[in-house]
Amino acid sequence: MAHLEYCSNCGEKNIFGMIEGQNRFHCESCKKIHYENPKPTATLICVKESKLLLVKRAVEPAKGQWGLPGGFIELGETPSEGAIRELKEETNLDGKPIRLVGHCSHHNTIFGDVLLLGIEMKIVNWSKMKAGDDAAEAQLFNLLDLPSLAFICHDKIVELYKST
């Protein structure tokens, strides 16, 4: 957690300890509390008939494993805008967000805490499917016969989709 070693307000060294009911980085010199929050992702459920779209990850973490398409929502984006952009970047497909399937929290990853928002996308034209950006391959898998997925939260979002 070296990124919070020094206070961004006054430059003094931060301490990590109990304040406002939780352990947090804060500055005893200027009293600034450095709040940290989970990073939200758009994690996509795209189904064609009874097949689910997965991408093989081209980057760490979990490089080489299959997972749901998606990624971190950028500053200024809504979850829907992030979903549309990530789908296009990773699979070249144009999709429309239909509904929030559910969410899953993943703690202490290399990115810190991540809040995955499972979003179901409607795709009309599948003919343009082509892997890109941080996806090495894009492929449809039978929902009843999926490979093991890169993250437990992806399994959970698939289960939420199947159960609703």
Choose the catalytic residue: 12, 86, 137, 159: 137
Does the protein bind Zn ion through residue 30 (CB under 5 A)? yes
**CB of residue 20 vs Zn ion: minimum separation in angstroms?**
16
Is residue 159 part of the annotated active site? The answer reads: no
**For Zn ion, the closer CB: 27 or 157:** 27
Residues in contact with Zn ion, shown as a per-residue x/- string from 6 to 25 under the rule CB under 5 A: -x-xx-x-------------
Of 3-11, 67-75, 135-143, 146-154: span binding Zn ion (CB under 5 A): 3-11
Residues 80, 100: Cα–Cα separation, whole Å: 10
Residues 117, 49: Cα–Cα separation, whole Å: 23
Residues 103, 162: Cα–Cα separation, whole Å: 14
Phi, psi for residue 113 in degrees, rounded to 5:
-80, 135
Residues 97, 75: Cα–Cα separation, whole Å: 19
Does the protein bind Zn ion through residue 33 (CB under 5 A)? no
Give catalytic residue positions.
Answer: 137
